[in-house]
Homo-oligomer: A and B are copies of this chain.
């Protein structure tokens, strides 16, 4: 079956972008160094480990969330997802490809803000709103705070809400504050796989339940992911390994310490945010890492392109394009009477965006900036699943090349502890 996208890396190498690019020999040697990691992944998976990769080929575990999603779609107008970071971004990235009417079923409350959350609640019809609370550890301050705010709101209604009907809780098994709360209030509980970290959870129920609520074909998401995974495991120089080698090599040898992910598709804006967390939390350790920059084309041509082209030469670029984008409205030739605007005549908005991406890529390369291209045939569940898998693999392989663990986020613990201390001190 055809791969869901093509991956072009020539314009990241010295032969194409001169000293903005990586030397071929450095590239080769990094690839060599990455191969054992790929073999390790294969082995661990065979031993039943790395479920965030293994989920791609699972088919048995979806029934529960499929029937839950169907019920939520029938019984409620709106589903609010309470969760932050990895409990939210995968679902957001996925739901973004659903049609507007489907997307509007879901609200992702990922930030904490007093005024903002009050507005969110004021905007909910109590009887027709369901809340899905997601926290792997069951102790995320923001998510718990939001949950208590909703519980108070629920009991203040003229007709207080039947909580077990209006809540679903996703957290890992074992004892934790969120699970204890759910038990006390008899809220339905689903297990977050303790072996799947938040930012790697998009192929689990954490990402797929929101996808199902938005009416998406989540099996296709997994199939796209499996396809990319199988090729990566089978090939000698698979795309995720080449990309990891480039990111690490370009940072180390060329000072390209930031990687800009620039999709030309509005629906991939949240995908770039999902990637930003994945990459930042996985690789930002021991003074190492490459800073991910989430961008969006063409709008960021009007805010960031000047800096990218002519500012410090410290960035590499990943431009994601769609070969067959939704055309959207067409610019009807009879409306164009101005010869200066003849270039717009008969174009669809989608076609203009495609051309803008091409012009940006050529300009970046022309200025000597390392630029990789990912070209999707179209933007659908299968492609997005493939992208999720590609970037998860790329991240884990880059961690290997940097000599760090892709999992965990040890540095943020002190800030979390301080918050709890200060709050407890009043």
Contact = CB atoms under 8 A, between A and B. Distances in A.
Residue among A115, A301, A367 with max Cβ neighbours from chain B (10 Å): A115
A406 to B, nearest CB: 12
A365 to B, nearest CB: 11
B291 A144 contact: no
Residue from the set A85, A86, A293, A329 with the largest chain B CB neighbour count within 10 Å: A329
Interface stretch (A30-38, A223-231, A238-246, A276-284): A276-284
Interface in A292-340: 293, 296, 298-299, 301-315, 325-332, 335-338, 340
A67 interface: no
Contacts of A145: 331, 344, 347, 349, 352
Interface residues of A, number: 120
A149 interface: yes
A227 B151 CA distance: 44
B141 A424 contact: no
Interface stretch (A1-9, A10-18, A56-64, A407-415): A407-415
B118 A359 contact: no
Contacts of A416: 359
A94 B148 CA distance: 31
Given A313-B287, A328-B118, A420 B100 contact: no
B415 A302 contact: no
A357 B284 CA distance: 21
Nearest to A269: B111
Contacts of A199: 303
Contacts of A118: 326, 328-329
B362 A305 contact: no
Contacts of A419: 352, 355-356, 359
Contact of A311 (B153, B276, B291, B336): B291
Contacts of A201: none
Contact of A312 (B288, B303, B336, B338): B288
Given A141-B356, A142-B298, A280-B311, A153 B114 contact: no
A119 to B, nearest CB: 5
Interface string A126-163: 00000000000001111011101101110000000000
A423 B277 contact: no
Contacts of A337: 184
A364 to B, nearest CB: 8
B112 A298 contact: yes
Most buried by B among A99, A119, A303: A303
A285 interface: yes
A29 interface: no
A146 B350 CA distance: 11
B277 A409 contact: no
A83 to B, nearest CB: 9
A189 interface: no
Given A313-B287, A423-B343, A418 B359 contact: yes
Contacts of A336: 148
B304 A277 contact: yes
A117 B311 contact: no
A311 B177 CA distance: 31
28 contacts: A100-B119, A111-B266, A113-B265, A113-B266, A113-B325, A115-B266, A117-B328, A118-B328, A118-B329, A142-B352, A144-B341, A145-B344, A149-B330, A149-B331, A181-B338, A198-B302, A258-B291, A277-B304, A280-B311, A284-B309, A291-B307, A291-B311, A309-B411, A347-B423, A355-B419, A359-B416, A363-B414, A366-B414
Closest 9 CB pairs of A and B: A114-B328, A284-B307, A85-B302, A284-B311, A114-B350, A115-B326, A113-B266, A277-B303, A359-B418
